[in-house]
Amino acid sequence: MQGNRNERDAFAEKLFQSALGYFDLLSIRLGQRLGLYEVLAEGPVTSKDLASRTGTAERYAREWLEQQATVGILRADVGREDIVFSLPAGHAEVLLDGDSLSYMGASVWQLYTITNAFENVVDAFRTGGGVSYEAYGRDNVQGQGLGNRPVFLNTLPKEWLPNIPPMHERLTAEPPARVVDVGCGTGWSSIAIAKAYPQVTVDGFDPDEVSVELARKNAAVEGVADRVRLHRTDAAGVTTAGPFDVATAFECIHDMARPVEVLGAVRRALADDGTMLIVDERTRERFTGEPDDLEAYFYGWSIFDCLPTGMFEQPSAGTGTVMRPSILEGYARVAGFTRFQALPIEHDTFRLYLLRP
Ligand SMILES: C[S@@+](CC[C@H](N)C(=O)[O-])C[C@H]1O[C@@H](n2cnc3c(N)ncnc32)[C@H](O)[C@@H]1O
């Protein structure tokens, strides 16, 4: 089998880079599990220091430190007998600072949970069925919530909502607005809205037990449990809980087995002058067949997580992470929304849509 040499070599190089990336993720996850980065964030360490302060074996700690320096995550001062390793401040922010918009620690955490469900995904490919959230484990839910948390606590109240006039005006007006947040997960979007608009009440709906349990804890810790009510219920049942003035759905419509049913229920639960914000992946308008890093990232999540979990309940729309704007618009129109607009608000990975009855 003889291919074009340049093509062959470029592809072999690409897979080598992928292998390096795979080891980055595994070794970062190892460092997270053992609390190694927390100690490094306090200051430079030798392998003996790290081992004694983290309850790990020095020989393993040394191998990990050397690997981390070799891939460029840590810096190594080799000018001493005992090599000293340090974590640059910017790298510490990306790995450890859960408030930073650059935080990626939770994504590594969530990516790793895919390995728990890998065989279930293989089966789902054969049967056409789906995979339960439980197969991925609790860390998947935590990773998802903590990954989006900085965007919800910073970007949502400071850059997004104030730039959506009908929504912002209603959230600041009297009588206090009632907000429904469907697919609320671990509650950070509901909490962020309640904190940004101190008079509103938010009802979050999510059928996932672990998510709602964590969301209730998070709301209590953040001091908004009196205004953020979290319901362990499919959002298809939201109609009877209305009327609501504002509805939101963050990164969840593409995960739903029955998105039209949920959007229809939200539509019926909205006041006539109500508005709905949907935030979902910034996919291209259509499949181009061309290499594209962001789309490839979305397809990765889709194959291993969103599509199989969205197919667990049958019948399913089988949407997947790569939900094109036209697909969402189709769902919204069938659900009874007459106005659908992709908002001109920039973001690296998300697109914002405004829907009105
Ligand atoms: C990718 S998570 C997003 C969670 C949260 N919005 C966030 O951004 O972190 C998708 C969520 O949609 C929820 N979901 C799926 N189907 C649902 C339905 N029919 N009604 C309400 N929530 C649903 C899942 O349980 C899950 O928590």
| In the predicted structure, residue 249 carries a pLDDT above the cut 80 | yes
Q: What is the percent of the chain with per-residue pLDDT over 70, rounded to a whole number?
A: 99
How is residue 76 written in tokens? 């190594």
Give the pLDDT band (50/70/90) at residue 11: very high
Sheet with 201-205: list strands edge to edge. 228-231, 201-205, 178-182, 244-250, 270-281, 350-356, 339-342
- pLDDT tens digit sequence for 250-292: 999 999 999 999 999 999 999 999 999 999 999 999 999 999 9
Q: Give the whole-angstrom CA distance, residue 294 versus residue 296.
A: 5
**Centre of ligand 1 from the C-alpha of residue 135, in Å:** 16
The predicted pLDDT at position 298 comes to 98
For 71-104, where are the alpha helices, taking DSSP H only? Answer: 89-96
The predicted pLDDT at position 354 comes to 98
Give, using CA atoms, the residue closest to atom 23 of ligand 1: 183
Residue 316, φ and ψ in degrees, nearest 5: -130, 145
Q: What is the percent of the chain with per-residue pLDDT over 90, rounded to a whole number?
A: 97
- Per-residue pLDDT, averaged over 66-74, amounts to 98
Q: Name the 3-class secondary structure at 142.
A: helix
Ligand 1 close to Cβ of residue 280 (< 6 A): no
Give the pLDDT band (50/70/90) at residue 99: very high
pTM for this prediction: 0.96
- Average pLDDT of the chain, as a whole number: 97
- Per-residue pLDDT, averaged over 20-43, amounts to 98
Q: Give the whole-angstrom CA distance, residue 313 versus residue 317.
A: 10
| CA 256 to centroid of chain Cα atoms | 15
- Regarding beta strands 84-86 and 228-231, do their DSSP bridges make them parallel or antiparallel, or are they unpaired? unpaired
Give the pLDDT band (50/70/90) at residue 3: confident
Distance between the two ends of the chain, CA-based, in angstroms?
A: 59
Ligand 1 close to Cβ of residue 250 (< 6 A): yes
One-letter amino acid identity for 4?
Answer: N
**Centre of ligand 1 from the C-alpha of residue 281, in Å:** 14
**Centre of ligand 1 from the C-alpha of residue 254, in Å:** 9
Ligand 1 close to Cβ of residue 251 (< 6 A): yes
Which ligand 1 atom is nearest residue 250's CA? 6
Ligand 1 close to Cβ of residue 185 (< 6 A): yes
Give, using CA atoms, the residue closest to atom 2 of ligand 1: 252
- pLDDT tens digit sequence for 100-147: 999 999 999 999 999 999 999 999 999 999 999 999 999 999 999 999
Ligand 1 close to Cβ of residue 320 (< 6 A): no
- pLDDT tens digit sequence for 166-208: 999 999 999 999 999 999 999 999 999 999 999 999 999 999 9
The predicted pLDDT at position 182 comes to 98
Cis peptide before 243 (omega within 30 of 0): yes
- pLDDT tens digit sequence for 76-95: 999 888 999 999 999 999 99
Q: What is the number of alpha carbons within 13 Å of residue 156 lying toward its C-beta?
A: 22
**Centre of ligand 1 from the C-alpha of residue 80, in Å:** 52
| DSSP track, 231-243 | E-S-GGGGGGG--
Which ligand 1 atom is nearest residue 211's CA? 27
Picking from 278, 211, 282, 275, the residue whose alpha carbon sits closest to that of residue 249 is 278
| In the predicted structure, residue 2 carries a pLDDT above the cut 80 | no
| In the predicted structure, residue 1 carries a pLDDT above the cut 90 | no
Q: Ligand 1 pocket: which of 153, 179, 193, 252 to mutate (most atoms <8 Å of CB)?
A: 252
Q: Give the whole-angstrom CA distance, residue 51 versus residue 36.
A: 9
88 Cβ neighbours under 8 A, 6+ residues apart = 74, 75
Ligand 1 close to Cβ of residue 253 (< 6 A): no
Query: Do residues 210 and 140 make contact, with C-beta atoms less than 8 angstroms apart?
Result: no
Ligand 1 close to Cβ of residue 206 (< 6 A): yes
How is residue 221 written in tokens? 């810790």
Ligand 1 close to Cβ of residue 238 (< 6 A): no
Give, using CA atoms, the residue closest to atom 15 of ligand 1: 256
Measured on CA atoms in the order 238, 241, 247, 249, is the torsion positive or negative?
Answer: negative
Q: Give the whole-angstrom CA distance, residue 142 versus residue 107.
A: 10
Give the count of beta carbons closer than 10 Å to the beta carbon of residue 341.
Answer: 12
